[in-house]
Amino acid sequence: MKKLFFLFLFLPGLMAFGQKPTVQLIPQPVSVKEGKGVFLLTKEATIRYNKADARKVAVDLAEKLSAPTGFPFNVREGKAGTVQMNLLEKADTQLGNEGYILDVTPKSVVISANQPAGLYYGMQSLMQLLPKEIEGKTKTTAKWSVPVVKVVDYPRFGWRGIMLDVSRNFFTKAEVERYIDEISRLKFNTLHWHLTDDNGWRVEIKSLPKLTEVGAWRVKRYGYFGARKPPLPGEPATDGGFYTQDDIREIVKYAQDHFVTIVPEIDVPGHSMAAIASYPELCTTKDTSIKVNPGSSFSEWYGDGTFKMLIDNTLNPSDENVYVFLDKVFTELATLFPNPYIHVGGDECYKGFWEKDPGCQALMKKLNVTDVEKLQGYFMKRVEDILKAKGKKLIAWDEILQGGISPDATVMSWRGIKGGIQAAKMGHYVVMTPTTFAYLDYTQGDPTVDPPIYANLRTRKCYSFEPVPDSVDAKYILGGQGNLWTEQVPILRHAEYMTWPRGWALAEDFWSPKESKNWDNFVTRMENRFDREDVAGVNYARAIYDAIVNTKITDSKMTVTMDSEIPGLDIYYTIDGTMPDSHSPKYNAPFDLPDGPITLRVITYRNGKPIGHLITLNPEQLKTRAQNN
Ligand code: ACM
């Protein structure tokens, strides 16, 4: 009895003895006060909004609720809806532009906010409080109850982003919109849209038609991106696509309706092979044989961050025509995207062709610089001047720090957080998106199970991301972002698989109070969300259920260490060539493998049932893993 009392005292409303917690929101709100009872949503419910500006969110809610319930809700202006959306008469400063109060009583649901964005996020929380069947798109039966609760909530950061690369793989307008809808449900408010790269130029620029006539298309290839066959001479380029300016306007409007702002990226001066395939005069080599890259290898990486491009993918900083080109691009782009920021890339720019070019050498002489990095600094400054003339602000990857940056530049820190720290200390605004915590293209489970990538990032690691380093003034950290590069992401369903649940962890990093973060508690909510996404038809990875297997060789003895990302899993393994199950040896401490051509097989169980993928490591893989450790 004492124990039970203890449980109720310390976990109020969270775990009522064997029951699932009633309020399971991602991201975790600032404050949740649970009461007794429920609000029951019936067909008699009325949805009302107090001001015209609240109408759109109220209609959105009605549409979301109508499909699965089959209730034909009417939505009208008014003050006494059983479901009421209110824009506050007097601003609540604590809530800011995106915060909300969600007040559920047995009689009504009231969402209040200063701005429509807050109402929208309150609606997203309300949706998560309804039974999972609410995520369905067709009429079903359920007890549509909402627990009595008062939620007061607002975000920790103003920049809560996800980057989608549509160059390496082209996603259609409908797919991009679906992705925007999905991120907005997690209260992300920024889509960084990587529109150009070596593998495709995706935005129509009317004054430069070849960018999409030529640059949006590559030869069709299958298989591992980066190991594909290069284009053959004369081979037709049939694979790709682009967004017309009408498409862009539609997507921007769709994003605005989901309270997502789009930051377009034109990646220059490197990563520009698609532009150069369209207009070869833009690079120093003026090589007319350059094609849009289909995922074949064209670079060498030396493991220490240095690299060499074997095909020219770099714009020429010493050619005035390049700035005329960029002025055309950014003039049109600026009219399409209302966000003040335009991302101009700046990453992984290879300077080898510049070093050999007389024009670049002459420019360096004129600028009185000896370091070729400074040429990129010059280029970026020219680009920033163009943006400023269009009323736009420059944001770029952290490499721009190497060439010297203007005081107004904003830095996106991706090579760890050190660039972000350096920039913030210089007084620049920063978005933190380090590979180590936020790269959604990395594998999230065992690389013998998940499609292999050169690096790994588990959900738990994403969840441990703290965007504000101790040594910097927090005011310079605008927020954070997860990046989905799509070299190995050929379809939207796999984009979902790579994004979720790591994106849920990042959503919480960027929205929730730092003090409220708790991995075990997040795991419960994550698993609850798995069930909801099954109903919604959204894909996600279940890698959190897989064992983490590591090997180490000391004095020619191989030691195996295993772990699990989430609590409560039992790990079973075999080394005798049989299939493991719950009767196999159970892992409880590191062990040495006997000598011999051994294959290790590992499986996780929970409550006596298999739950993770089978992991099989043959002798070679065991050895490689030890070498990589
Ligand atoms: C990057 O990942 N190249 C920014």
> Average pLDDT, stretch 209-232?
98
Question: Residue 271 catalytic?
Answer: yes
The answer to whether 384 is a known catalytic residue is no
pLDDT at res. 19? 64
Q: What percent of the chain has pLDDT over 70?
A: 97
Task: Name the residue of 165, 168, 266, 397 to mutate for ligand 1: max ligand atoms within 8 A of Cβ.
Answer: 397
- Cα separation, 84 vs 98, in Å, equals 18
* Pocket flag, ligand 1, residue 347 (CB < 6 Å): yes
What is each CA distance from 564 to 421, 508, 539, 567, in whole angstroms? 32, 21, 22, 7
* 112-118-120 Cα angle (round to 5): 100
Would you say 248 and 327 are in contact if contact means Cβ atoms under 8 Å apart? Answer: no
Domain borders along the chain are 2-153, 159-512, 546-628
Evaluate if pTM is beyond 0.75: yes
Structural tokens at position 261: 């702002």
The residue nearest atom 3 of ligand 1, judged by CA position, is 347
Please give the torsion angle defined by the CA atoms of residues 197, 201, 206 and 209, in that order, rounded to the nearest 10 degrees.
110
Q: Which of 153, 182, 197, 441 is catalytic?
A: 197
Model confidence band, residue 111 (pLDDT cutoffs 50, 70, 90): very high
**Per-residue pLDDT for 334 more than 50?**
yes
Q: Which residue has the tokens 């990857």?
A: 397
Q: Of residues 194, 258, 271, 343, which has the active-site annotation?
A: 271
pLDDT of residue 248: 98
Residue 7 has pLDDT above 50, yes or no: no
CA angle 91, 92, 94 (to 5 degrees): 140
What is the rounded average pLDDT of the residues 106-132?
A: 98
Instruction: For residues 559 and 549, give the distance between their C-alpha atoms in angstroms, rounded to a whole number.
Output: 11
Cα of 279 vs centre of ligand 1, distance in Å, is: 24
Reported as a pLDDT band with limits 50, 70 and 90, residue 13 is very low
What local confidence, expressed as pLDDT, does residue 3 receive? 43
Q: Which CATH architecture has domain 2-153?
A: 2-Layer Sandwich (3.30)
Ligand 1 in reach of 508 Cβ (< 6 A): no
Instruction: Report the pLDDT value the prediction gives residue 129, as an integer from 0 to 100.
Output: 98
The per-residue pLDDT for 74 is 87
Residue 326 contacts residue 282 (beta carbons within 8 Å): no
| Class of the domain covering 159-512 | alpha beta
Q: How far is CA 332 from CA 337, 341, 371, in A?
A: 9, 14, 33
Mutation pick for ligand 1 pocket among 348, 432, 488 (CB with most ligand atoms within 8 Å):
348
Q: What spacing in Å lies between the alpha carbon of 298 and ligand 1's midpoint?
A: 16
Looking at ligand 1, which atom is closest to the CA of residue 412? 4
Which residue's CA is the closest to the ligand 1 atom numbered 2? Answer: 414
State the CATH class of domain 546-628: mainly beta
Burial of 568 (0-12, 13-18, 19+ CB in 10 A): exposed
For the stretch 413-455, pLDDT in tens is 999 999 999 999 999 999 999 999 999 999 999 999 999 899 9
In this predicted model, what pLDDT tens digit does every residue of 353-385 receive, in sequence order? 999 999 999 999 999 999 999 999 999 999 999
> pLDDT tens, 258-305?
999 999 999 999 999 999 999 999 999 999 999 999 999 999 999 888
More confident residue, 268 or 14: 268
Decide if pLDDT at 79 tops 80. Answer: yes
Distance 309 CA to ligand 1 centre (A): 15
pLDDT higher than threshold 80 for residue 93: yes
pLDDT digits (tens, 9 = 90+) for 242-251: 999 999 999 9
CA 379 to ligand 1 centroid distance, Å: 19
Q: Is 565 a catalytic residue?
A: no
Ligand 1 atom with the shortest distance to the CA of 414: 4
Locate 326 and state its tokens: 């960029």
